[in-house]
Structure formats: structure tokens, C-alpha cells
Amino acid sequence: MPDFEFDRWIDAQLRNVPFPPHLLSRLAENGAARDAADADTWLDDALRDVPVPGYLESRLRRIARRRSVPLWRQMALAASLFLMVSLGAVGYLVFVTQSPGPSERNVARQPAEMNRDSTRRTTDAQIAAPRLEDVAKARTAEPAEDSQTTHSVESSKLPLPTLADVSAIGSTLKQAIDARLRSQAALGADGRLERLPELDALENSAPRGVAPPRVPGYDLLFQLKHGEHPFASPAAHKDLLSSKVPFTFRTTSYDLALRGAPSGRLPPAEEIRVEDFLAAQDYVLPPAPASGLALHAAGSASPLGDHNVKLLQLTVQAATSHTQAHPPARLIAVVDMSTRMRLGAHWETVQRGLDKLARQMTPADRLTLIGYAERPRVLLQDATGRDLQALLSSDALPQPVGAANFAAAIESAATTALAFKSPAAQRVVVITAAGGDLDEAAFEQSSQTLGEMSNAKIRWEIIRVGSTGPDSRWADLAEAGHGQFTLADSTIEVYDALVEQLIGRPLTTARGVSLKLTFNPLVVTGYRLMGHESATLTGTAGDPLEVDLHADQTATGLYELWMKPGGADWVATAELTWTEPVNGQSRHVKQPIQRGQFASSFSQAPPWLQQGIIAAKAAEALRGSYYAPSPRPLARILELATQADPRLTEQPAFHHLLTIVKSAEKLR
């Protein structure tokens, strides 16, 4: 709310302000003789060309010394003071016109036609500031504070502000400031006039989840009511006998939760996605295969529910990258650090991508990191991977703020690349969150600069971070400058693009990867996919059932099963298919899942399964899931984490996950 104590102090300063003698004499001489017909005209003439009293300046200076306030507030106080004087004059006029007065006489006035016309043509804001300043400069002597004499300003060539001018100025300023204060106080802004950040265009929400099956036995009403997949019986319909595992590598809701955890400002429950929390984990898996893919499947009794409920996790692991086998490379990474990068956790996505890149750099590789907003700034010059990791983990890394000057960033990257003796050995990657809304001048300038790099044999690429948006402008720019454009929706996609530029070759390990799980209805009476819920039952599904996997990449899915206590040993069959990117040959792996692959307790489960269970259950608790354990689900998850494999505590992603849960538990 506004500072009412300060308002009361201002009121006290405005009391008992003497009127200028010239004004009093004019009102006394002619006030009682005015007819109602010409009273308004006479009032305008009487209030015009009255010199500003000199003692007002001393009072204004006293008010300014009372509190150090901004210039706008000082002007507002001055205008309010003048307005009070004007209103007081009107009140005095009313009093005089109701009492007998001297006979009507012509009052000698100073010619004011030119001033009157200029005042009509000039806005209030143009009148206020310069005239007050010029009057102060024109004074020749400082009178006593309460003296009723006015300054002699005959030596000044500037016209003096009159009470009519001041009244109009004061009224306009006071109304505007009062309206601003009232609106901000109503919004809880503590009555302060603060500069609001520029609004930016938000991206449209990308389609999420998978489309539910439209067959008998699948409870669509449950999903519509609770926003989660229901348990489905594989014996209810042939289409429910198997389930294709959707893949996603986005971590948006996890990143937003991690960003807000220190301040206790977590995302809304409906924005928490289980698949985001699963994708954010760096799983402690067995060594990666030398080539192709490996499929890992493990289960456990549910640690937070009925013992008849089992958890089954399937993880696909790609071969290692072998990034050591490449000649020394020099990479120039130009990263957008404008406010737009804060939207949708893009900044966290890029940071993790750079961190993964730093871990793959050889000692001979070098990186120049340029951050740009209104202007570009070199953050690292010819740095090693260790230097990059140190910067990303320190407080010296600037945070995104301001607008983005893309053309200036491209110019800085070109200057840096062309400065080397062999420019063709350089690689330039520009990472931006902008939607391609370049104006014509910026487009032409950037196109010309990028073309110069292409002519110098410098490979360059623009990576646009985000899931949706008008990217055709970036594609046009890439075509005009003979470069490459990539849309990256996750950390792994940013990392892949960076590493491919670093080593000079693609890292695709498998194309068209798909995973299908077929259940034994004699053992599994019901199953549900955890996460990947679609926004609406009829909406477009966004999580693909086929993806391309790159080196060192993993994809995971988690199911809950209702299993009969006894019966056959065969629970389900997992089928993994993909295509070799080099020769185009199809690969197919079929792996049966037996009861023996389900651990009897959480503590006996593999560490990567423990990670997945805690991540998924934490996300369900944060979103208020129908399946979240009760009571106190977050406290039970923290207790469960104490039973996890000690190797998990060495994982930064797992530590960050527990930070989110602890922050949320404090808010409950």
C-alpha cells in the first residue's frame, strides 16, 4: 500500500501557505462586482500571469531533503503544492464574491496573449519541467523562508509559470500518479512505481502424451476425470494385450521445479510431468554396448503401495560415442542470454547440454563461449572442457536478461572465427530461443555475415531451443547463408548438435527405435503406463513411439502391474526394433521378462530402477496424482531415498531431485 505516513507529512507542509500579494489584491478589487454570466472568463483572467512566490522553492527543497526520492516524485510534490495554492485561490474567490466590495475598476494586466496562445499549444509535460528549472536559475536572491515577497525575475526573458498553468499541470500529474498508485496497490505492488519487465511472446504448448486406446476395457472416463492412465486388463481386448512404450527426452517441468525449489516456487501441479522427471535422470546403468543398442528390464515390488502391485522399468541404452577418435577441434558457441531464454526452462536445457559437451571434450579441444542479449560478450576464450564445467558451476555465469540482438551476436561470432589463422578449422553454433521474428534489416545483416563465414569454409549451425514456434525464418536464414538449422526440444538434442559440430560427424546410433511390451494375461491382470498422459482424450499425441537414438543416449519407460501371486513364470515380452544408420539393416531384439527379474524389495532393486521409481513417484506426489501414496507422500519418498543404493548420491541429477522433494515437503 502507499506510504500514508509520508502523505500526512506532505499535508502538513502544504498547510498555511500564504497567497501572493498580487493575487490577493486582484481578487479583493474585482471579486464582488462580477456577474454570473462573465464570472468564468474573469476568473481565467484573474488567475493568469501571477508570479510564482519565491518561498515555495525553499519549501520544496525542504520536502526533497526530507526523503531522497526520484525526480518524478519531486515534480509530483511540486505540482501538488501548486495545485493546492490554485484551489485555495478559488475558495478565497468564492468568499470574496459573497461579500460587499469596492466599486468596479479596470485592473491593469500585463499583456499575456502570446503566453496564452503558447500555453494552449503546449502539452502539460512540456510546460512543467523546463519552466520550474528556469525560474530557479533566474532568481537573483534567496528571500526568507516565510516571506510573502516574490522574486524579481524581470531580468529573465522566459515567461513565468502562472497559477493557471500550474493548476492544469498539477491536475494532470496528480491524477496520473494517483491512478498508477491505486492500480499497483491493488495488485500488491506496495505502492511503488517500478519498471515492469517487457512482455514476451510465449510459445504454444506442444502436444504431450499418447492417445488412449478406444476399445472396451479401457476406462476413458477415469482418464478424463483424473488426467492419468487407468489400469487396463490385457484380457479385456486384443488391442490391450500389448503397449508401445512412448519416448520423450524433454525435462521442462523438472527444470522449472528445480529452478523454483530454492525459493519454494514450484510449478503448478497440473504442469508436472512424470516423463520429464524420468528423462532428467542420469541412470546408473551397466557399461554401454560397443555398437547398436542394449535393452535393460527390471522390476520390483511397489515400495509405497500394495505388495501385489509391481513396478517394471524398461531402458534402452545406446552405444558409447568414442569421441576420443577425432582431431583437435575449435568450437565457437554463441548462446542467447536474453529474457526469452528463461521461458520454458530453455536456459537449464542449454546449460546441461553445454555441461555434457564439456565432459566429451578432449584436452586438445577448445571452446569459445559468447553470450549475447542487447550486446555480445565473450565469456570464455579458447577454453578447455574443465574451464567450461567450472564456469557453468560457478556464480560467475551471467543469467538471462534483456532483449536479444541476434545480428550483433552473429557479427561477433564471425569476427572471432575469422581472426584465427585457419578459419576453416572453426565451427560456429548459435543457440537461440527466439521464434525467428527477425526484422528485415537484421535478417539481411545476419544473412550477409553468415554468408561470409560460409565463403571462408566455416561450418555454422543455428539451434533453436523449443518445441513449437515459427521457425521458417530461421530455415530461410540458414538457406540464405548456406548453413544449417536445427530445432532442439531437449538437453540431449542440444548436446547432440554441439558434439556433431565438435567432432565433425553425426552421432546417430539407431534410427526408428521402437519398443513394444506384450503382457501375459494369465499373470498380469492389469497395467498402467506412468506418465505420458495426453492433454485431452481427442487431442494430438506428442510423445513419439519411434525415435532416433544417438551415442550415449538412453530412453526409459515405467509401468505399474497387477500380478497374480502365483502362476506362470512368464510375465511379458519386450520387443526392441531399430535400423542401422550406416547400412540400413533392420535389427530386432526380443527379451522375455520373468518373475525372477522382479526384486522382492526396493532396496534389492538395481540402482537405475530405484532412480526411476523415486523420480516417478516424486512427480506423481507433486502433481497430486490419484496414485500418489497417502498420507504425507513426499515424506515417504524422502524416507525411501535413504534406502537407495549409495551410488545414487553421487549423481547430481538424483541430488537435485531430492532438493525438489525437500522444498515441496516444506511447503505442505
| Angle (CA) 556 562 566, round 5° | 120
**pTM for this prediction:** 0.67
Q: Which pLDDT belongs to residue 219?
A: 92
**Between residues 644 and 2, the one the model is more confident about:** 644
Mean pLDDT of the chain, nearest integer: 78
Q: Which pLDDT belongs to residue 273?
A: 93
Answer whether CATH 2.60.40.1230 is correct for domain 220-321+508-667: yes
* Residue 86 reports pLDDT greater than 60: no
Tell me how crowded residue 655 is: count the other CB atoms within 10 A of its CB. 11
Answer whether CATH 3.30.70.2190 is correct for domain 330-503: no
The mean pLDDT value for 617-641 works out to 91
From 497, 611, 623, 488, select the one nearest 556 (Cα to Cα): 611
Most confident of 86-100, 112-126, 647-661: 647-661
Contacts of 220 (CB under 8 A, 6+ apart): 212, 214, 537
* Residue 577 reports pLDDT greater than 80: yes
Q: Which pLDDT belongs to residue 24?
A: 57
* Residue 335 reports pLDDT greater than 60: yes
**Between residues 646 and 469, the one the model is more confident about:** 646
User: What are the pLDDT digits (tens) for 94-106?
Assistant: 444 444 443 333 3
* Residue 114 reports pLDDT greater than 80: no
**Between residues 612 and 653, the one the model is more confident about:** 612
Identical fold for domains 220-321+508-667 and 330-503, yes or no, is no
The domain ranges of the chain are: 4-186, 220-321+508-667, 330-503
Q: Are 198 and 403 in contact (CB under 8 A)?
A: yes
* Residue 155 reports pLDDT greater than 70: no
Contacts of 472 (CB under 8 A, 6+ apart): 436
Q: Which pLDDT belongs to residue 558?
A: 97
Q: Which of 304-313, 404-413, 552-561, 658-667 has the lowest mean pLDDT?
A: 304-313
Query: In which band, very low, low, confident or very high, does the pLDDT at 190 lie, cut at 50, 70 and 90?
Result: very low
Q: Are 507 and 500 in contact (CB under 8 A)?
A: yes
Query: In which band, very low, low, confident or very high, does the pLDDT at 544 lie, cut at 50, 70 and 90?
Result: confident
Q: Which pLDDT belongs to residue 565?
A: 87
**Between residues 197 and 276, the one the model is more confident about:** 276
The mean pLDDT value for 279-284 works out to 92
User: What are the pLDDT digits (tens) for 34-75?
Assistant: 555 566 676 676 666 666 655 566 566 655 555 444 555 555
**Between residues 214 and 540, the one the model is more confident about:** 214
User: DSSP state, 189?
Assistant: S
Most confident of 92-96, 170-174, 394-398: 394-398
The mean pLDDT value for 646-668 works out to 90
From 546, 554, 431, select the one nearest 492 (Cα to Cα): 554
Q: Which pLDDT belongs to residue 210?
A: 87
User: What are the pLDDT digits (tens) for 423-464?
Assistant: 767 899 999 988 777 788 889 999 999 999 999 889 999 999
Q: Which pLDDT belongs to residue 156?
A: 42
Is the sign of the CA dihedral 98, 100, 101, 106 positive or negative? positive
DSSP H or E run through 570: strand 570-579
* Residue 218 reports pLDDT greater than 60: yes
Q: Which of 31-35, 228-232, 575-579, 585-589 has the lowest mean pLDDT?
A: 31-35
From 273, 399, 380, 257, select the one nearest 336 (Cα to Cα): 399
Q: Which pLDDT belongs to residue 146?
A: 43
Distance CA 476, CA 57 (A): 62
